[in-house]
Amino acid sequence: MLKQWDNNRDYHSFANVDAVSVTHLSLSLAVDFQQQQLTGEVRLSLNFHDIDCRTLVLDGRDLHIDAVVDAQGRALEFSVGTNDAILGESITVALADMTESVTIKYRTDPSAQGLQWLTPQQTSGKTLPFLFSQSQPINARSWIPLQDTPKARIT
Distances (CA, A) of 142 to 18, 19, 23, 84, 113: 22, 23, 19, 13, 6
pLDDT the model gives residue 151:
85
pLDDT the model gives residue 152:
87
pLDDT the model gives residue 2:
58
**Percentage with pLDDT > 90 across the chain:** 90
Residue 5: pLDDT above 60?
Answer: no
Average pLDDT (115-126) is 96
Query: Could you tell me the CATH superfamily of domain 20-142?
Result: tricorn interacting facor f3 domain (2.60.40.1730)
* Of 45, 23, 44, residue with least CA distance to 155: 23
Average pLDDT (81-94) is 96
Q: Considering only 4-8, 39-43, 55-59, which range has the smallest mean pLDDT?
A: 4-8
Domain boundaries defined on the chain: 20-142
| Distance (Å, whole) CA 25 – CA 64 | 18
* Of 74, 65, 58, residue with least CA distance to 105: 65
Kindly report the pTM of this predicted structure.
Answer: 0.92
Residue 89: pLDDT above 80?
Answer: yes
H or E element in which residue 1 lies: none
